[in-house]
Amino acid sequence: MARTPADLVGAQPDPPFEITFDGRRVTALPGQTVAAALWGAGILAWRTTRDGGRPRGAFCGIGQCYDCLATVNGEPNRRACLVPARPGDAVTTQEGHGHDRLTV
């Protein structure tokens, strides 16, 4: 009989909940980051590069590379691999650095 780690410790996790990605419903589990929830739904990219519009998603998974930037609840430049998913979060594809309208 196969046992999971949750079975071994007698964990009773909270039920799954929904977030959205570009209007698409995505199921998330308690404790997951936004990136993990998107990965679980088969979504591998949620940002495009400023030059060329190339797709990007999680690369390092520990918040060091900034490839996983996403717009979460209207706030750009959130590192999806570090942001805990919360019920009702609205994640949208981020274009470039999230500040494309600024000129430097």
> Cα-flanking dihedrals φ and ψ of residue 89, to 5°?
-55, 140
Q: Does domain 14-95 have CATH number 3.40.50.261?
A: no
- What's the number of CA atoms in the CB half-sphere (13 Å) around residue 28? 26
> Cα-flanking dihedrals φ and ψ of residue 6, to 5°?
-65, -40
Q: What is the pLDDT of residue 104?
A: 41
The predicted-structure confidence for 68-94, as pLDDT tens digits, reads as follows 999 999 999 999 999 999 999 999 998
The residues spanned by each domain of the chain are 14-95
Cα 3 to Cα 10, 15, 17: the distances in Å are: 11, 19, 24
Q: What is the pTM of this model?
A: 0.80
The predicted-structure confidence for 59-72, as pLDDT tens digits, reads as follows 888 888 888 999 99
Residue 65's SS3 state is coil
End-to-end Cα spacing for the chain: 61
Q: Token pair of 91, please? A: 């994640």
pLDDT at 28 over 60: yes
